[in-house]
Amino acid sequence: MANMSCWTSLYGDWFDAERILFEYFTMGSGGFHDAVAQPLQQVDRVVNSIPLKGDLLIAYGISTGTHLLFPACNNFKEIIVVDFLDRNIQLIEKWQKKDPKTFSWKRAIECLYENEEEREKWFEREEKTRTIIKQVVRAEFTEEAMHAPPSLPQADCLFSPFFLNHLCPTKEAFATSVKNMSSMLKVGGHMLMHVFIGATFFMQGNFKLPMFCIDEESVKKVVSKSGFVILETEMNKRVNPKFSTFDFTAIMFLFACKERDV
């Protein structure tokens, strides 16, 4: 049976966030609704209607998902991004420096918001997000722990969009990773998570990368056992059944509050 280090090395060899952005995240590609439009609206609603506020937000495995940080840019003083792959870390740094060759969110914002004022608001949010990401930290999740610098402070909020299915080949590894994330959050802090339901693979070009297939109830059980109270879940069935390079059946959005250390 596969273990986490085996998947990590597979992702290390193959997963290329910049390529995935061009393959799945552009308007008209199979993933635009599921990976850009829908999660952006969910995160914006939760973060800004409550609103969630604090000093520090930690975001795991963001790489292709920098847009999901835009809604939180005025609510937190600092964002720390954590990933294990140098090229995915560099992608974020290139976007921060506005490298003209890097994937741009401008087109996505223009497609999503027709109103000029609304567009301007999102362009400003992108700009602000660039500046409040103060650290991009190289750290790897393993079965044992998250190998992050011990100096990393506990956060007021955790983001984990579309992250865990890619590195946890078993339910045990999934549970360990949620516990590891929980340890990085203050009691009373919040976690926002997107999980693919029913996925076993996705294609990057001609290469098939494995995904951990999990159901809604199992995700809820794991999160509850890791010290969280679940405040909201939303299940969204995939909108594009013809999109054959990725076999997920639904996307689960989960919003939880940490009530105790585990």
Ligand X SMILES: C[S@@+](CC[C@H](N)C(=O)[O-])C[C@H]1O[C@@H](n2cnc3c(N)ncnc32)[C@H](O)[C@@H]1O
Q: Which residues bind ligand X (CB under 6 A)?
A: 8, 11, 15, 17, 35, 61-65, 68, 83-85, 88, 140-141, 161-163, 166-167
> Smallest gap, in angstroms, from Cβ of residue 44 to ligand X?
14
> Smallest gap, in angstroms, from Cβ of residue 111 to ligand X?
17
- Whichever of 83 and 156 has its CB closer to ligand X, that residue is 83
> Smallest gap, in angstroms, from Cβ of residue 243 to ligand X?
15
Cβ neighbors of 177 (< 8 A, separation 6 or more) are 141, 146, 164, 167, 168
CB 227 within 8 A of CB 215: no
Half-sphere exposure of 112 (CA within 13 A, CB side): 24
- Whichever of 61 and 189 has its CB closer to ligand X, that residue is 61
Cβ neighbors of 218 (< 8 A, separation 6 or more) are 171, 174
Pairing label, strands 76-83, 54-60:
parallel
CB 109 within 8 A of CB 123: yes
- Whichever of 212 and 228 has its CB closer to ligand X, that residue is 212
Cβ-proximal residue to ligand X, closest one:
65
> Smallest gap, in angstroms, from Cβ of residue 172 to ligand X?
15
- Whichever of 207 and 229 has its CB closer to ligand X, that residue is 207
